[in-house]
């Protein structure tokens, strides 16, 4: 399973970052879409074949949350790369952002199914007693309007206000990082790495306003 996960990581990252002529863009867009779906298909196959290990629910929660963060990193990297002359990733920023929402929604649905049994009362209790559940849920709530306003028709109607709303992506990153940090307990290495990435990207974002 570890080897398969590493292979999936490599395929997705290479597919997203591959540089090809602009005339190939429609074909590449389809390839990127399919590549981003691979982690979901791997998980689906694991569920069907019952090969997700001794704790399938925990594995599903971890992997869907991990991929939501990975795609979020790619979304945030798109603008700095474009400003330095590498704009290909920015062409797929909308798609990548929707995949952040997709994997975060899967993460939430698994939590609702396995851990709270679709109980509204139990959800309120979890939100009140567990900070990591609260910040994760807030991050997902913010992703909802970001995903809806990604539609071209809505984006055109919103005009300049669209950019203001989508700055909330950094709030999602902060909440997602807190969610991971509080879940990490004693093993915070992964959370530290994501935290450093988000801090650097945020600093790059606000730097023009300091100058």
The domains of the chain are located at 2-210
**pLDDT tens profile 152-192:** 788 888 887 888 888 899 999 999 999 999 998 778 999 99
Cβ atoms of 31 and 1 closer than 8 Å: no
Weakest-pLDDT range from 22-31, 83-92, 119-128, 134-143 = 22-31
Model's pTM, two decimal places?
A: 0.85
pLDDT range class, residue 204, cuts 50, 70, 90: confident
Closest CA to 140 of 170, 178, 107: 107
Closest CA to 173 of 204, 152, 149, 151: 204
Task: Find the mean pLDDT for residues 184-210.
Answer: 83
**pLDDT tens profile 17-63:** 444 444 446 788 899 999 999 999 999 999 999 999 999 999 999 99
């Amino acid at each position: 399973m570890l080897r398969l996960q590493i292979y999936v990581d490599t395929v997705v990252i290479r597919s997203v970052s591959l540089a090809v002529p602009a005339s190939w863009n429609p074909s590449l867009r389809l390839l990127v879409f399919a590549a981003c779906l691979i982690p979901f298909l791997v998980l689906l196959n694991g569920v069907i074949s019952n090969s997700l290990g001794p704790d399938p629910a925990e594995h599903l929660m971890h992997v869907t949350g991990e991929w939501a963060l990975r795609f979020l990193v790619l979304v945030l990297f798109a603008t700095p790369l474009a400003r330095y002359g590498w704009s290909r990733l920015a062409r797929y920023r909308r798609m990548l952002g929707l995949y952040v929402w997709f994997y975060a929604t899967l993460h939430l649905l698994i939590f609702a199914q396995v851990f709270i049994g679709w109980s509204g009362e139990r959800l309120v209790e979890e939100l009140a007693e567990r900070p990591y559940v609260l910040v994760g849920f807030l991050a997902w709530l913010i992703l909802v309007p970001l995903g809806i306003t990604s539609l071209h028709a809505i984006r055109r109607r919103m005009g300049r206000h669209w950019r203001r709303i989508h700055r909330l992506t950094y709030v999602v990153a902060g909440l997602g990082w807190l969610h991971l940090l509080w879940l990490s307990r004693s093993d915070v290495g992964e959370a530290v790495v994501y935290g450093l990435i988000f801090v650097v990207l945020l600093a790059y974002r606000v730097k023009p306003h300091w100058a």
